[in-house]
């Protein structure tokens, strides 16, 4: 897989051919859009001090001539290999790879616009209905923490992409995403033993449902979200059914958001319920104060997981943002506090 993804990247780069006075990119579509997103950081706690590169996304979108709102998207990401679960005697993996940078496929989907009234569809390794929505209007700091339903010491119930189809409806006062997926997520083993029905239904009280939310706008949204995972291997061959409600209010000066998540059929490693609240105060141009609190209690042994984030952000320019924050996590009787410094780069 790694070789295939690297070959695709090399082919995209090498498709540009040098000519006198510059270069052109040759393609069978009229528009290609390249972009990247990077999370660089430093973390310090009682056990370690280390520099990190948490995400490195390389993205290409190919827009079609006959339908300029439809496109194909591919997004690659890098991650550190953890080979602790592999035997070093297994020649499939060769020498010790622990710490090696690898390339992973995050998204690879076809988007077709207006296949139904006000509705487009993603097909392939696509967005799952919730996480991307929250990251673009409810919690704007993925570079320092995943959202509540994904964070390992939060609810830890899902991730952001999977193989399947996702119907995305956008109207001024209502938007939704309704999808069917394999259920294991984009880096889980796809065993074909059960599918996952997933949804987001959002009421946009002040309008704005046709586009992604922006800090400069005033909006108030309430969402109903959830998944029905049937016999998914990721969840130990048992159902994982959960649902939640999320509300957010934003105006140019501040943002407030809160959510409640509960499972109604889950393996003991996932069963529980909890809530998360977060806020953002735009102190002055380019400077923001941010805060967040997560709490999730497991059903099996009443083990509670909590997380607290407090920090300050500085918008260096439209491409670069710096963040300094403290992250405290408590799992039962164990706790950890870390200082995080982060640079988020978008191009």
CA neighbor of 269 nearest in space, from 309, 307, 242: 242
The whole-angstrom separation of Cα 181 and Cα 127 is 10
129: left (phi over 0), alpha (psi -120 to 50) or beta: alpha
pLDDT of 16 > 50? The answer is: no
Task: List pLDDT tens digits, range 138-155.
Answer: 999 999 999 999 999 999
Split at pLDDT 50, 70, 90, the class of 236 is low
The whole-angstrom separation of Cα 79 and Cα 97 is 12
Question: Which residues, including other chains, have CB under 8 Å from residue 80's CB and lie 6 or more apart?
Answer: 99, 100, 101, 102
User: How high is the pLDDT of residue 22?
Assistant: 59
Mean pLDDT of 305-311: 98
36-346 maps to which CATH number? Answer: 2.40.160.10
Phi, psi of 21 (to 5 degrees): 85, 0
The whole-angstrom separation of Cα 144 and Cα 159 is 16
Per-position DSSP letters for 267-326, written without gaps between them? -TTT-EEEEEEEEEEEEETTEEEEEEEEEEEETTT--EEEEEEEEEEEE-SSSEEEEEEE
3-state secondary structure of 191: coil
Q: 166-180, 190-204, 210-224, 233-247: lowest mean pLDDT where?
A: 233-247
pLDDT of 235 > 70? The answer is: no
User: How high is the pLDDT of residue 10?
Assistant: 47
Split at pLDDT 50, 70, 90, the class of 81 is confident
* Residue scoring higher pLDDT (91 or 204): 204
């Amino acid at each position: 897989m790694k070789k295939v993804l690297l070959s695709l990247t090399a082919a995209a780069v090498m498709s540009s051919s040098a000519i006198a006075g510059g270069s052109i990119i040759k393609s069978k579509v009229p528009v290609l859009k390249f972009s990247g997103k990077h999370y660089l950081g430093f973390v310090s706690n009682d056990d370690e001090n280390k520099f990190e590169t948490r995400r490195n996304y390389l993205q290409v979108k190919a827009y079609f001539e006959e339908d300029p709102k439809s496109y194909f998207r591919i997004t690659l990401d890098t991650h550190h290999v953890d080979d602790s679960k592999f035997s070093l005697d297994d020649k499939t993996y060769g020498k010790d790879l622990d710490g090696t940078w690898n390339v992973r496929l995050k998204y690879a989907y076809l988007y077709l616009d207006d296949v139904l009234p006000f509705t487009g569809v993603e097909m392939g390794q696509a967005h799952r209905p919730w996480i991307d929505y929250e990251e673009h209007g409810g919690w704007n700091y993925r570079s320092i923490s995943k959202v509540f339903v994904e964070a390992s010491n939060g609810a830890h119930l899902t991730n952001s992409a999977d193989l399947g189809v996702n119907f995305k409806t956008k109207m001024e006062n209502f938007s939704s995403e309704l999808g069917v997926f394999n259920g294991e997520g984009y880096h889980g083993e796809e065993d074909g033993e059960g599918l996952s029905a997933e949804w987001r239904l959002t009421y946009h009280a002040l309008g704005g449902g046709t586009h992604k939310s922006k800090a400069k706008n005033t909006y108030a949204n309430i969402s109903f979200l959830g998944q029905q995972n049937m016999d998914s291997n990721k969840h130990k061959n048992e159902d994982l059914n959960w649902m939640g409600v999320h509300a957010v209010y934003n105006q140019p000066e501040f943002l407030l958001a809160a959510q409640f998540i509960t499972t109604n059929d889950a393996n003991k490693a996932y069963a529980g319920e909890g809530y998360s609240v977060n806020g953002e105060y735009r102190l002055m141009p380019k400077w923001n104060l941010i805060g967040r609190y997560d709490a999730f209690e497991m059903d099996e042994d009443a083990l509670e997981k909590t997380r607290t984030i407090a920090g300050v952000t500085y918008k260096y320019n439209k491409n670069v943002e710096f963040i300094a924050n403290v992250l405290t996590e408590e799992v039962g009787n164990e706790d950890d506090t870390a200082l995080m410094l982060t640079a988020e780069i978008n191009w």
